[in-house]
Chains A and B, each alone.
Chain A
Amino acid sequence: MAFSLSINGTVYEIDAEPETPLLWVLRDNVGLTGTKFGCGIAQCGVCTVHLDGQPIRSCITPASGAVGREITTIEGLSEDSSHPVQQAWIENSVPQCGYCQSGQIMSAAALLSRTAEPTDNEIDAAMAGNLCRCGTYPRIRKAINRAVDIMQNSKASL
């Protein structure tokens, strides 16, 4: 059964069962492998993408639920890793193995798009769904705070 999905500004015709989780459509049908598989039950967050700007776990979201909405994956966050969260991640050398980081970055970007200056508790709440086995949490926290600065500086310089 075919349906259309709008992903990172491009519309794709998808040939898959509509209940197929969005994660597998992104990875195996469309070939956007930056979004990862981790648990399949929305407990680890490595599959996080944005649906109309909101962070969702694509491993439990049926692809049919994304029809008519805009999907943003890590590949679509910026063209050149210039998103303030990506810049802050590089500056703070956040990724180790890196496997969870697409999800971490998408959760952080969503947080900062709705809360310009999150408190520590707000960071905790927004990031609690994203597991990291390498233990990069302290650096993620620093990088989110750095991304806040980058965003404010770019606003100030406008």
Chain B
Amino acid sequence: MNSQMKLSRRTFIRTMAGAGGGLVLGFYLPGATAAVVAPKPWTTPTDGTEINAWLTIDLDGTVTVRVPHTEQGQGALTSVSMMIAEELDVAWNKVQAVFADMNRHVNHGQEYIVTTTHGSQLVRLQHPHIMQAGASARERLKAAAAASWAINPSQVIAKQGVLSAGSRSADYSEFVTAAAEISLAEEPTIKTPDQWWLLGTPTPRLEVPVKVNGSAAYCIDTQLDGMVYAAVKCCPVPWGKLKSFDFDAVKDRAGIVTAIEFKATDGDTATWDMQNGVAVVADTWYRAKTALDLMPIEWDFGPNAGVSNATQAAEAQRLFNVEGDLSNEVGANPIPMIEASEQVIRAEYHRPYETHARMEPINATVSVTDERIDVWSPTQDQAAPIRYVSEQLNRDPKEIYVNTAFLGGAFGGNGGGATAVTKQAAEISNQLRRPVKVIWSREEDITHDKQRPPVYTQLQAALSVNGLPEAFFSRAVWFSHEGVESHGPATADEAIGNMPYQVPNRRHERHNSAAHIPTATHRAPGVNQNGFIIEQFADEMALAGGWDPLEWRLQMTKGLEPWQRVLLKLKEISGFTTDLPKGEGMGIAIINDHGSICGACATVTVSQRGQLNLEKLQIVINSGYLINELNASEQLEGAACWELSHALYGGLNFSNGQFTNTNFDTYNLMRMPQAPEIETHFALSQDGWWGGMGEPGGPPSPAAVANAIFFATGKRIRSTPLSKHDLSWS
């Protein structure tokens, strides 16, 4: 049945902005009506009574957990809620999650302690204070009940939302108000894993239902009364200048409002800033983007217009002959030993620039008024915009509110252009005094992402009589933005400088060569690049010494329990063998990333004409502990596909100081036909340490595939994308 409906754009916007409450998510219940989420200016959820900043309890026993982290699909809403519910001891189906108020966090003593979501850290590093918030609330409830019942708090049992002592019992909700006033003489300690009842159980993520019907609200879905849209273009060669633009040529087009120039801050090129560029503002984004494309713009590309893949490769070759900064050194200097040895292996590896390319193009909405500023930003730290918008517009942080929406991907710290686009929107809204949504085209998104830095690495090893390496030397050349240290050594050294292989004499050096391309963290920063390198070179060393790659790794990590556990599990589940017909291959790799040890076994076939088929990928992880196997499996599968995408298909083409493959027709990524079957397995030490889960599935996967390709074809592929190499064999 059709109904007739006339809808003006303005009417619709008012309807949207007035609809719904804050983001409220029910627990997973098949068939249940999923909560509709709509972005709106932030107000602290007021339902229920607050015991502490982390949670409220309603009269009906519903517990609302306030999550200070963004949800980018990594399961923050669910993980934080599980940790609170574990300690509070409430039935999981009574728990819902909302995004916490960042204005309150920033202006009230950072009460959520950590709000960022980078570094696979949420569970492994933050579980103590999150669980403590739940435990503290539970003990306050017990103390409140004890005071009312005139007994000792130790006599009160708190279980599944009910307080009881002997014949007396009451729902948590009865004592919430009193509990909020309680000050404990001593804060409780958190549970040990043997006491868990909820953590450790496979639990579907809370927000899955709103992500299958279009109702999940992302930054880009923000609609505000009176909002205008901006399309932007910044100099294709980063830090180049805007010479001129001819707004007169497009200003009379329908819906065009204005054009606004952005200026990069001089001397501040190493921070997260806007590039020099221009925005066209209109009443719809399509009109703004069309006018921007038609508007004549002249650029001064500046001194970096000659830089390319080729100039960087030449610079890397030069620096291979120059001593670099020392990353790590064990035993004697390996270089003379390698020079004197009769059995030496040498290899050079390369990984190119890669980009985040979140499926949600970089965008932000900002509304600046005299009273307050509202921000919708695609950042992984929702507190950050309060600080930098305050600085940018010289406004009191108390007046700035961040409205947390789902992120359509994230994949690395504050990477991408989250800060730049938020500052652009703040600038425009401040000038126009009306809400503005800035959306980067995909080309702008890839051009002005903070890219993953490229690396060239030279490795050498000398083998002893037993075929094992006695000396190892590596020298890496990275092209990070301005050679900044903050993104330099940690990234450059991961997985190689701290490799587990007990070579008695080894040295790793790195150059952080300055480049004008802004670079930043990118899911498993450094480890993804270096994992591909060191875990293939490990196979090269093993095979040169006559060792089976799996037995070599077991030998070289002897005594390192977390590694042995993963390798033995990998051996058990994969049946790894090098004895396969030509055209078939299995490959293994193992990496320490974000505190977890993660191994992978890839099974491939390669046709004689060189067609690669990735049949299966088996992943084993040791993260110490595990709170949600279902979510963990999703993260491992996702991280593996992520990095296989770059290793097999990605690679930014870089010439004339700029990137030339800036949309998905030319920046190729894994698609459904190329996706392997993926198995995930857990081999947990459970002996006092915690590892991360969001990133470690990536680093070992491409190396495992490349090692498998070697066994299938006899070809060692030392640079990516693999798809650009001829894999044919005869």
Contacts and interface: CB of A to CB of B under 8 A. Distances in A.
A131 B74 CA distance: 18
Interface in A62-109: 73-75, 77-78, 80-82, 86-87, 89-91, 93-102, 105
B5 interface: yes
B206 to A, nearest CB: 11
A92 B645 CA distance: 22
Contacts, number: 222
A141 interface: yes
B609 interface: no
Chain B, interface size: which category?
35 or more
B342 interface: no
A138 B675 contact: yes
Given A6-B2, A30-B12, A90-B212, A96 B439 contact: no
Nearest to A140: B672
B670 A105 contact: no
A46 B359 contact: yes
B406 A133 contact: no
Contact of A75 (B13, B214, B220, B675): B214
A20 B286 CA distance: 7
Nearest to B357: A133
B3 A98 contact: no
A75 to B, nearest CB: 5
B676 A138 contact: yes
A81 B73 CA distance: 19
Contact of B212 (A10, A43, A105, A141): A105
Interface string B430-445: 0000000001011000
With most chain B CB atoms within 10 A of its CB, the pick from A13, A28, A102, A127 is A28
A18 interface: no
Contacts of B406: 97-99
B639 A93 contact: no
A74 B410 contact: no
A90 B31 CA distance: 10
B208 A24 contact: no
Nearest to B446: A39
Interface string B195-232: 00000000011011111111111101101000001000
Interface string B617-647: 0000000000000100010011111100100
A43 to B, nearest CB: 4
Contacts of A41: 442, 663-665
Nearest to A89: B212
Nearest to B410: A97
A95 B211 contact: yes
Contacts of B439: 37
A12 B7 CA distance: 7
A74 B216 CA distance: 12
| Chain B interface mostly | loop
A111 to B, nearest CB: 11
Contacts of A135: 637-642, 645, 670, 675
A54 interface: no
A137 B208 contact: no
Interface in B380-410: 406-410
B167 interface: no
Interface in B248-272: 254
Contacts of B221: 27, 33
A6 B8 CA distance: 15
A53 interface: no
Contacts of B671: 127-131, 137
B552 interface: no
B215 A34 contact: yes
Contacts of A140: 672
Contacts of B109: none
Interface string A27-57: 1111111111111110110100000000000
Interface in A8-31: 9-13, 15-17, 20-21, 24, 27-31
A124 B73 contact: no
B337 interface: no
Interface in B648-698: 663-665, 669-673, 675-678
A93 B208 contact: yes
Contacts of A146: none
Contacts of A105: 212
A112 interface: no
Given A43-B665, A133-B358, A135-B638, A28 B285 contact: yes
Given A31-B223, A43-B664, A96 B16 contact: no
Contact of A93 (B34, B214, B634): B634
B2 A127 contact: no
A9 B2 CA distance: 5
A38 B440 CA distance: 10
B659 to A, nearest CB: 15
B409 A82 contact: no
Given A40-B442, A81-B34, 4 more contacts: A13-B7, A94-B212, A124-B673, A138-B675
7 contacts: A28-B286, A29-B9, A96-B634, A133-B409, A133-B669, A137-B672, A139-B637
Interface of B: 1-9, 12-13, 15-16, 28, 30-31, 33-34, 72-74, 204-205, 207-218, 220-221, 223, 229, 254, 284-287, 357-361, 406-411, 439, 441-442, 630, 634, 637-642, 645, 663-665, 669-673, 675-678
5 nearest CB pairs, A to B: A34-B214, A135-B641, A96-B73, A99-B408, A98-B211
